[in-house]
Structure 1
Amino acid sequence: MHVFSETTAGDLLKKKNEKVIKEKSHFNETETKEKKPPDSTDGNTQQSQSCSQEEIDKLNKENTKRESSVQLEVDPPKFHTEESEEREQNLSLESNYVYRRNSFQESFTPEKKQEEGAVDDACQKLTVQEIESEYPADEETKKEHQVPEDALEEQQEEKETEREENADKSEKGEPPAPSQKEDKAEKSDDEEVSEGRCKSCEKDDLPTPPAPFDHRIVSAKRVGISNYYNVNEDEILGGGRFGQVHKCEEKATGLKLAAKIIKAQGPKQKDEVKNEINVMNQLNHVNLIQLYDAFESKNDIVLVMEYVEGGELFDRIIDENYNLTEMDTISFIKQICKGIQYMHQMYILHLDLKPENILCVNREANQIKIIDFGLARRYKPREKLRVNFGTPEFLAPEVVNYEFVSFPTDMWSLGVIAYMLLTGLSPFLGDDDNETLNNILACNWDFEDEEFRDVSDEAKDFISKLLIKEKWYIILYL
């Protein structure tokens, strides 16, 4: 009996202790979760602890996910990674796609609602490449602005062909042809000038017409001119120390021309006329008179040339009824400069520029052509050229002093012509030739006359840069 009681008492004590432990563990789970777990000696308490810890971990993970999602929506990260950039790009592409789709759908009319499904499918098939094609990258834009290789090769070939043609022409003595870009630039400049001019000045903008025939290389024929041309001896177009100019007509074509009959009896005089033929064979410009044919006889040589009917420029200067304005002078001087520039490019000096040797194409327009190349000479820099001829009031100081002549010699004569066109006066003309030559050597001229009262400062400056003794300062080639 005693043994049984001890065992039963021990068993009761154990049960009581287990019950107390269970109550404590239950109290800890419900009331005090933050306290440390009970001792690991009890297996039941360990199981309840592990279950509660797993639930807590799950809750913590869910909370952390929610917090991170909220942070992403509110505060985007400051440091973007490659993944974040790709996400942003995809979001922008999707938004662009949605915007385009909405705008595309809004443009539909009610009658086309049946086609909306097909359109939605087409919009859904819009890929990233199609969107990028609308907004090309920098490399694609650069490629668009780059010149194709074929175009560059064509430009280089055109330049080479132009150089070859210019080289061939220079060997033949012909002037180099201007490039297409230069022609376009000259046309654009003329168009801009014409837009700024009034209608009354349109006559100055008209281009000088070329000769009614192509440029020809002429040699004197030893036959009578009457075999080919009808020369009207009664109609005299002009004259001078050389002889007279008559109007003539070609029998075969009926072309109106001018026959310049030059008296040349001895070989020296004939050589001078042949020099004029040789010079005119090299000159092909609209502001230079063109040679058509030539005939040689025992006592004279006849030059058949382009015919113009406007008369000499000198006639307009002395005509009191003709109102020669500064704009007219600009038009005349511009054309004279173009003709002289062409001659100087061909290394030819005119050496007898004066209003009598400048013809007007007609009576109305201000279009001119330079004539009379009988005193023209080829300029060779190594061979110093001196001349002792010309009209006194238009001679340059180096001609009077029998010094070397060059391109500025013609520019001096151009300054005298400009002075006369603006005022009707000759700047160096004296009572006789000696006084005229002394005025030229002293460079004695001024703008004090009343005729310069309405002349612009630009015109005065133009003349001042031409009528100077120190020719090495002249760099003006218009």
Structure 2
Amino acid sequence: MEVKGVKLKVLGRGAYGVVHLVETTSPCSGLFAVKSAPLTKSFSLSKEWEIFKKFIGCPNIVQCFGGFTSFERDGGYFYNLFLEYASGGSLLDLMNKYGGKIPECDVKDYARMILEGLVDIHNRGYIHSDLKPENILVFPSQTGSDLNTLKIADFGLARQCGEKRYSTTLGIWFSRYSRLYVTRICDGRNQWCIGYMVTRLHYC
């Protein structure tokens, strides 16, 4: 895939790369999010693309249109993920817009969207492992209603069910004392996290 366009601004920075808002002219015109990392440090992004392929067409998961390599004059070769752009920012941005909590009348619908995304992830044998408001993105309504559409993003830490990995205790939002240990991935972590997140949507 060859993508041509202009970087407009930085949308975010993380451990595995930088996300830019890009206005493209090829292979199609429009606004997209492009997540990039130096080619020598791109293993996580290339693995993320392989995971994204499993979720093509899932309505509550951010869609990835491909991975490609580019050359930047000031930085060498980069690996990039070509993602749909969330014009509404993240769920955390939406919460802050309402003073830290979502109106109670909307919490049920937003929780349903997140849960439907998690069902798609679990049905394909994966655990997200990093579910938090910053990794849930806000899109315009896809049903014609006034309510935004939420989609789960960022699969950099996603793992297959049953996979062994190193992890940290209480690693979501409020980790204070962390210990490194080996755990076998299961869906209990996300079940706990979704309960905490839904509570936080309105009561924090």
* 1:362-407 CA distance string (max 9 Å, x none): 3952311111011111224xxx523326954267xxx965432201
Contact 1:394 1:413 in 2 (8 A): no
Where is the helix percentage greater, Structure 1 or Structure 2? Answer: 1
* 1:71-127 CA distance string (max 9 Å, x none): xxxxxxxxxxxxxxxxxxxxxxxxxxxxxxxxxxxxxxxxxxxxxxxxxxxxxxxxx
Partner amino acid for 1:371? Answer: A
In structure 1, the residue matched to 2:44 is 272
Shift of 1:247: 2.5
What is the alpha-carbon distance in structure 1 between the residues aligned to residue 115 and residue 190 of structure 2? 10
Shift of 1:295: 1.4
**Which residues of 2 match residues 104-183 of structure 1 at below 5 A?**
none
Correspondent of 2:187 among 407, 412, 422: 407
Q: Does 2:142 correspond to 1:368?
A: no
What is the alpha-carbon distance in structure 1 between the residues aligned to residue 98 and residue 119 of structure 2? 31
What is the alpha-carbon distance in structure 2 between the residues aligned to residue 386 and residue 277 of structure 1? 20
Q: Does 2:183 correspond to 1:377?
A: no
Q: What TM-score does the superposition give when structure 1 sets the normalisation length?
A: 0.36
4+ long deviations beyond 3 Å = 320-323, 389-392, 399-402
Distance 1:371 1:347, change over 3 A: same
In structure 2, the residue matched to 1:345 is 123
What is the alpha-carbon distance in structure 2 between the residues aligned to residue 272 and residue 417 of structure 1? 26
3-state DSSP class of the match of 2:37? strand
What is the alpha-carbon distance in structure 1 between the residues aligned to residue 115 and residue 87 of structure 2? 22
Gaps of 5+ in 2: 71-75
In structure 1, the residue matched to 2:73 is none
In structure 2, the residue matched to 1:258 is 33
What is the alpha-carbon distance in structure 1 between the residues aligned to residue 38 and residue 197 of structure 2? 29
**Which residues of 2 match residues 27-106 of structure 1 at below 5 A?**
none
Contact 1:348 1:378 in 2 (8 A): yes
Shift of 1:264: 4.5
**Which residues of 2 match residues 216-365 of structure 1 at below 5 A?**
228-232=3-7, 234-241=8-15, 242-265=17-40, 269-284=41-56, 285-297=58-70, 299-320=77-98, 324-362=102-140, 365=147
Shift of 1:316: 1.9
Q: Percent identity?
A: 24
Shift of 1:357: 0.4
Contact 1:353 1:394 in 2 (8 A): no
Partner amino acid for 1:388? Answer: S
RMSD across aligned C-alpha pairs, in angstroms? Answer: 2.9
What is the alpha-carbon distance in structure 1 between the residues aligned to residue 103 and residue 85 of structure 2? 27
* 1:28-84 CA distance string (max 9 Å, x none): xxxxxxxxxxxxxxxxxxxxxxxxxxxxxxxxxxxxxxxxxxxxxxxxxxxxxxxxx
What is the alpha-carbon distance in structure 2 between the residues aligned to residue 252 and residue 246 of structure 1? 16
Gaps of 5+ in 1: 1-220, 425-478
What is the alpha-carbon distance in structure 2 between the residues aligned to residue 400 and residue 409 of structure 1? 16
More RCO (CA 8 Å, sep 6+): 2
Distance 1:339 1:417, change over 3 A: same
Q: What TM-score does the superposition give when structure 2 sets the normalisation length?
A: 0.80
What is the alpha-carbon distance in structure 2 between the residues aligned to residue 252 and residue 245 of structure 1? 17
